[in-house]
Structure 1
Amino acid sequence: MEQRGVTLWFTGLSGAGKTTISQAVAEQLKSRGCKLEVLDGDIVRQNLTKGLGFSKEDRDENIRRIGFVAHILTRNDVIVIVSAISPYREIREEVRQRIGNFVEIFVNAPLEVCEGRDVKGLYKKARSGEIKGFTGIDDPYEPPLNPDIECRTDREELEESVTKVFNKLEELGYLPSK
């Protein structure tokens, strides 16, 4: 079976587990010999979208640019893994429409769980006022209404989340069934 391009868009709060799941998915795809690219929100911000702030307009532009790159790769039969908070529904839908072959993965964990994980210490800084406009604290996160996949990282093991992604890719015909 010829590889078909698709964008796997991992969205969720900071600390929900987007990077962890997307890295595990990427490793398994590589082991199957798939062509893929990973666009991690933090890395993209350091390179492609440097200079953008965190206003709603800048966040939307950040997602548009990630979506543009994902679209180019997807139409060239690359599997693209995007891991970005992408807090606003409207811009996620805009990117979905542009790309077409798009799987939205809602990495869902309650705010308290994400704060408890606080790997980067960002929630602590947001709560103390050092960071303004932080998603989930003083800026909204609009969860997907109908995600293609929902990974509940507060209730399921990493392997279960990864399996959900692969099952959906097989169901949609992006990967052959094992």
Structure 2
Amino acid sequence: MKIGTVYWITGLAGSGKTTLGKRLYEQLRLTNNAVVFLDGDNLREVFGHEQGHTLAERKHLAMKYSRLCQMLSEQGIDVVCATISLFKEIHEFNRQHLQKYCEIFVKCTMEEL
């Protein structure tokens, strides 16, 4: 079975992750119907609306996002996931467990935020 690619778009709040993710999703959809766009704000509503914003709670949610991406990828679905999730442990998990993984860090100056 085909393994889907996970495009993990990360960066600070307001850096353009969602905008970039939507554009990438639209481009991928031109040639592939098996692609989904996941946005961190929407994922929080689904998985963690009852969770707070402590470091441990944010890491726990980020791991849920990673595992969801893994599950979809293993079913042949390309995943564009735009989330802050700036945790070394999460990025390392993704690199080790997602067979086709592309990490994109959106960098901008504080003035641009």
What does residue 74 of structure 1 align with?
73
Residue 111 of structure 1 aligns to a residue whose secondary structure is coil
CA contact (8 A) 2:3 2:99 kept: no
More strand, by proportion: 2
What does residue 10 of structure 1 align with?
9
Give 4+ residue runs of structure 1 displaced > 4 Å after superposition.
none
CA contact (8 A) 1:11 1:106 kept: yes
Q: CA RMSD in A?
A: 1.5
What does residue 44 of structure 1 align with?
43
CA contact (8 A) 1:11 1:84 kept: yes
C-alpha separation between the residues in 2 aligned to 1:39 and 1:15?
16
- Tell me how many residue pairs correspond in the alignment: 113
Correspondences of 1:80-119 after superposition (within 5 Å): 80-114=79-113
Residue 113 of structure 1 aligns to a residue whose secondary structure is coil
Residue 32 of structure 2 aligns to a residue whose secondary structure is coil
The share of aligned pairs that are identical, in percent, is 30
C-alpha separation between the residues in 2 aligned to 1:31 and 1:95?
26
What does residue 64 of structure 2 align with?
65
C-alpha separation between the residues in 2 aligned to 1:37 and 1:49?
20
CA contact (8 A) 1:73 1:80 kept: yes
Q: Considering Cα pairs closer than 8 Å and 6+ residues apart, tell me whether 1 or 2 has the greater RCO.
A: 2
**2:35 maps to amino acid:** L
Give the TM-score normalised by structure 1.
0.60
Correspondences of 1:138-177 after superposition (within 5 Å): none
Give the TM-score normalised by structure 2.
0.91
